[in-house]
A = this chain, B = another copy of it.
Amino acid sequence: MRSRTIALLTDFSLKDPFVSMMKAVIRSINPNVEIIDISHDVSKFDIYEAAFILYGSHKYFPQNTIFLVVVDPGVGTGRSVLTVKTERHIFIAPDNGVLYPIVKEYGDSATIYVIDEDKIAYTPKSFTFHGRDVFAPLAAYISLGYPLTYLGKVTTSNSIVKLKWVKPTIKNNVVLGQIVYIDSFGNIVTNIPVNIIPWIKTCKLLRIKVEGKVGEVTARYVRTFANGKPGELIALEDSFGLLEIAIYEDSAAKKLKVDRGLKVEIRKGE
């Protein structure tokens, strides 16, 4: 099966020429594939952030898109190269946990391969830039239709590196979750799907306790950003379907001085 689209996600930045070298290698092998940049500004070495971005965005991509994720602090060590095939998509990444949420999401309908790098690597292969020497050729050959059964061996989801991917819980009407992303607007994204909160539709005000902060803040639960008054903390269902804390035309993350990873407790305020 051929693919028309490769989607790239790295922490290489766009200042350095590294991303362009990956694209150059891909297009040397398959000049007809289109490349979409998801982001190259993942925080350096931040496997968790890359995993969230991939998980949150992949569903919108065309059928047969090949996702190539290179956040790879273990480059040049013994870490494996994985390829995961789901019904709609193919995912390629180092075996460092970044594909774990995808594997969890698709369960038995996903097939996981450990790739035999020797079949596709650029020669001579560097020890420091497998984005160019291993991952780019791999994505390009898969886009040309090279069968995964030729390129690697099937493995089980138990054999791959896991990621601490916390699911939110609800206990006595308190929702326990975590901040999983801060976007460029300063909106605070939690891991809490709004549709798991039973009382959300009758709720006008949320009480929010953030790990390490004294006391609570309250946020009015609204439909969209512009419903907020100037400076007012609001909460809403964001475009990932997740509970998000925001301020209209301002940065909630700066105002609350919070970072990714902190736990949050959400209570019905009113």
By a beta-carbon cutoff of 8 Å, the part of chain A in contact with chain B is 4-5, 7, 9, 12-18, 20-21, 23-25, 27-28, 31, 34, 36-41, 44-45, 53, 56-57, 60-63, 65, 73-77, 126-129, 132-133, 183-185, 223-227, 236-239, 244, 248-249
Q: Which residues of B contact A126 (CB under 8 A)?
A: 237-239
Is the beta-carbon distance between A128 and B249 smaller than 8 angstroms? no
CA distance A133 to B133 in the complex (A): 37
In the assembled complex, how far is the CB of residue A243 from the closest CB belonging to chain B, in whole angstroms? 12
Is the beta-carbon distance between B76 and A224 smaller than 8 angstroms? yes
Q: A44-B185, A77-B226 are in contact. Are A37 and B62 (CB under 8 A)?
A: no
Q: Which residue of B lies closest to A61 (CB)?
A: B24
Is the beta-carbon distance between B239 and A128 smaller than 8 angstroms? yes
Q: Which residues of B contact A28 (CB under 8 A)?
A: 60-63
A-B contacts, 17 listed (Cβ < 8 Å) = A4-B31, A7-B24, A17-B39, A17-B53, A20-B38, A20-B57, A25-B60, A28-B61, A28-B63, A31-B62, A44-B249, A75-B224, A77-B227, A127-B236, A128-B224, A128-B244, A133-B239
CA distance A98 to B31 in the complex (A): 28
Q: A16-B184, A73-B225, A184-B15 are in contact. Are A127 and B237 (CB under 8 A)?
A: yes
Q: Which residues of B contact A225 (CB under 8 A)?
A: 73, 75-76, 128
In the assembled complex, how far is the CB of residue A246 from the closest CB belonging to chain B, in whole angstroms? 9
What DSSP secondary structure best describes chain A's contact surface? loop
Q: A36-B20, A38-B20 are in contact. Are A12 and B73 (CB under 8 A)?
A: no
Q: Which residue of B lies closest to A136 (CB)?
A: B60
* Set B7, B23, B44, B248: member contacting A36, Cβ < 8 A: B23
Give me the 5 closest cross-chain CB pairs, A-B, nearest first.
A76-B224, A129-B239, A13-B184, A15-B41, A17-B57
In the assembled complex, how far is the CB of residue A98 from the closest CB belonging to chain B, in whole angstroms? 14
Q: A236-B128, A239-B126, A249-B44 are in contact. Are A62 and B16 (CB under 8 A)?
A: no
Q: Which residues of B contact A24 (CB under 8 A)?
A: 7, 36, 57, 60-62, 65
Q: Which residue of B lies closest to A12 (CB)?
A: B184
Q: Which residues of B contact A60 (CB under 8 A)?
A: 21, 24-25, 28, 132
Is the beta-carbon distance between B62 and A39 smaller than 8 angstroms? no
Q: Which residues of B contact A185 (CB under 8 A)?
A: 44
Q: A17-B53, A25-B60 are in contact. List 12 more A-B contacts (CB 8 A).
A: A9-B17, A18-B183, A24-B60, A24-B62, A27-B36, A44-B249, A76-B223, A128-B225, A128-B236, A128-B238, A129-B238, A132-B239
